[in-house]
Structure 1
């Protein structure tokens, strides 16, 4: 910490005031946001607090710190901040955010935050001009993160539309999406609706072998079958790598495990058929999996990325077929006859796959940039709020 910074307790800087009760049935709607312990939960015609203010979760989402930039109402599951000294409110916001107040949960039932525990926390306080500069820098980081998140959200919407267009219109030899309105002669009716004339309707079993994974030993978690050289994935791994090439794993099988399971080759599309229906990922390395996952091994003459997109596009149809017992599930009889519109020309298959892959790569770059920004912000918060890095040196 810098020599000319003061070390104080939060109790010297702020008062955490109790919010006021405003039940859901009494919220009238209107211009003023109503804050609960985890952010805005409604609107009301009247307000309790002038803006800006800091709302801190007291019950429920303990220790959540939210900035309220409009006049608002804070309900009784929250605290709001009153300054005791002439300090930057925005700096105090960042200072509170830098501490994990959730660790102060003092309840045994519903999570709860005792304000006296917050008051005892020691913090570093620079001069007011330096507070304002620090807050400005961190706000700039927050704005960059928000803009990147907004960009990613837009790209995801565009991506969903792109997949729909690719799988219903295709890409012609000029690299353009076909247009059923301007060129209806390029399309035909099929069992699943309008498709390009150069396409056929195929069952999934005509494009790939479709086989269930397996793990026949019971109990499934017997440690004698795990901890070897063979990667083993389950439905949760697919959900975490949705639509991606999967190379990571958290479990392995030993020789005993491999004997009671089934290995699938690189390029196999792993499709979940229990709990989460029709989540998909493409194997980047050979892997084993249990019977809650189906391996779709695409025949060499077809593009496996395009087949994966078609299965993913049919997720809602497959989910509607799921039987409900202890958990939702489908079986091979649902997957193998799945009707898929598919280009006859391998070059068009590759064009469609390439367009998708390029767009997905752009999205991945934005997501990687977002993670980089978040890490940079975390480091900046530590360095600036402790005085390790002084703003006059930036």
Structure 2
């Protein structure tokens, strides 16, 4: 394992970006990079002096601190909100150094200033472990392969999210008939309603009409009931759209839970956030049956009128949120109260169609969740590989050819 270190100032040139005026950026010319988390150029222009060559690394120094980027452009500009590092290409592979810089805690370096920012002097003494160029190239190749998988997974998630938005709009506007086809006014009968055109088989009902009971969880001094263990007690922080986040749960005693029956939740009940992210709703799964909750709206659907999952999907949809996000300037209300839930307008298909809609949408949602879990695994793999490879803890020598080893 290589133990020799070298400072950035000795393996390349560090310099601040230059002042580039936005009005001088015409949209034509060379790309210009500014402090940012993304890889796209900030603007295009020919009205700047310093042209950086491909292989130079751009680091955010003002506003967005860190996030090193390696532009693929042959020549590019960089604004005064960045620091540009141009390495000695005879000794170092730029892609390797790009990965090396990704593990630097730039925010801590920037915090050394009165106003958080990076200066060239902050970076000059950062040290890089010296590897042969062949080793640098192999390390960069391995990490690049993981990055490609991450990019592909992120693109898949973005695509599936767009599909889900369109699918949800179709499902909750036109529905799906008994043959599995999305309805159209060209092929099916529709009617006017208070929520616009809907299939003739549908109704528009208020929350109070499709629920047996709508109440609120504990609101008066709930902390008096908290214990180290016992019965899980849900709070707003645990409620997300169509799922429960079990982290940061609080608990109450069995005795208190029995006495506070009004705020107990049962399998199939809906719980809705009142403050913070008002309207976010999920269904109580079997493992939380009999738990209690704090300052959350509890709705108990009438199973003969509406399915729990369908109602949760509706409240979380654009159609439900539009009714919740009312008030001045279209901002979310500070509280989503029992009265708002009771008066919420809901498109109500027949029960068998509700089931078809929820099955399709929840299956698609699970596809997105699986992709996100895969993304988290890939990001964890990259972090572990960077730790092992860039420190020399794991050698790549055995992966090199005889020709590589001589480089």
* Aligned pairs (5 A) from 1:15-54: 15-39=13-37, 42-46=42-46, 48=50, 49-54=52-57
- 1:210 Cα deviation after fit: 1.8
CA contact (8 A) 1:226 1:257 kept: no
CA contact (8 A) 2:226 2:251 kept: yes
Distance 1:110 1:230 in 2: 47
2:63 corresponds to which of 56, 60, 65: 60
Distance 1:84 1:51 in 2: 12
1:88 corresponds to which of 71, 89, 93: 93
Q: What does residue 272 of structure 2 align with? A: 271
Taking structure 1 as the reference length, what is the TM-score of the superposition? 0.87
User: In the TM superposition, what whole-angstrom CA distance separates every residue of 1:340-367 from its partner, at most 9, and x where no partner exists?
Assistant: 11122x2222222111121112111111
- 1:81 Cα deviation after fit: 0.8
Distance 1:163 1:191 in 2: 19
Q: What does residue 331 of structure 1 align with? A: 337
> Aligned in 2, Cα 1:335/1:28: closer, same or farther, shift over 3 Å?
same
Aligned pairs, number: 382
Q: What does residue 211 of structure 1 align with? A: 215
Q: What does residue 382 of structure 1 align with? A: 387
Taking structure 2 as the reference length, what is the TM-score of the superposition? 0.84
Q: What does residue 365 of structure 1 align with? A: 370
1:115 aligns with 2:115: no
> Aligned in 2, Cα 1:192/1:27: closer, same or farther, shift over 3 Å?
same
Distance 2:329 2:227 in 1: 31
User: In the TM superposition, what whole-angstrom CA distance separates every residue of 1:58-89 from its partner, at most 9, and x where no partner exists?
Assistant: 23333331222223321222110122461111
1:72 aligns with 2:70: no
Q: What does residue 199 of structure 1 align with? A: 202
Distance 2:5 2:375 in 1: 33
CA contact (8 A) 1:11 1:120 kept: yes
Structure 1, unpaired ranges of 5+: none
> Aligned in 2, Cα 1:162/1:324: closer, same or farther, shift over 3 Å?
closer
Cα RMSD of the aligned pairs, angstroms, is 2.8
Structure 2, unpaired ranges of 5+: 400-407
Distance 1:154 1:333 in 2: 37
Distance 1:115 1:59 in 2: 12
CA contact (8 A) 1:225 1:257 kept: no
2:181 corresponds to which of 171, 176, 182: 176
